[in-house]
């Protein structure tokens, strides 16, 4: 993860200005959902991933958790397993985007999870 979890890493292949809505999201061990929405606001780049029936909800994923993009397949890949993503803090849209503590908890969770990747 980049030093600032709310920005894409320099080597992930992100194309600025690309609408990621509808792109598939893959964990290291399989499909986890699709991008329901995203923010490209500088210093606050994140994805809201709709995991559908897999975890019955949505996840807020900081941009720094994205390992790479595949524009041809319209897929972005995380360096995490499905289990690590499943254990991330649940996204509650009515409150979470404005909740500073929640966002700090999300960033801390993804930092810890990525640090444990081989």
pLDDT of residue 118: 55
- 54-74, pLDDT tens digit by residue? 777 888 899 999 999 999 999
Residue 11 covered by a domain: no
CB atoms within 10 A of CB 54: 14
User: Is residue 1 included in any domain, yes or no?
Assistant: no
Flag whether 17 is in a domain: no
What is the residue range of 109's domain?
A: 23-116
Classify residue 13: in a domain, yes or no: no
Tell whether 41 is covered by a domain.
yes
7-51 residue pLDDT tens: 998 889 988 889 999 999 999 999 999 999 998 888 889 999 998
What do you get for the CA distance between the two ends of the chain, in Å?
13
**How far apart (Å, rounded) are the C-alpha atoms in residues 1 and 7?**
9
Instruction: List the CATH number of the domain containing 53.
Output: 2.30.30
pTM of the model as a whole? 0.87
């Amino acid at each position: 993860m980049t030093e600032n979890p709310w920005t894409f890493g320099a080597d992930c292949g992100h194309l600025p200005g690309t609408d990621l809505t509808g792109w598939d999201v893959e964990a290291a061990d399989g499909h986890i959902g699709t991008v329901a929405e995203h923010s490209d606001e500088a210093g606050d780049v994140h994805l809201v991933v709709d995991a559908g029936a897999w975890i019955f909800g949505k996840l807020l994923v900081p941009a720094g958790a994205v390992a790479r993009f595949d524009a041809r397949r319209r897929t972005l890949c995380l360096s995490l397993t499905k289990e690590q993503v499943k254990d991330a803090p649940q996204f509650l849209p009515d409150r979470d985007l404005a909740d500073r503590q929640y966002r700090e908890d999300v960033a801390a969770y993804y930092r810890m999870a990525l640090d444990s990747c081989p």
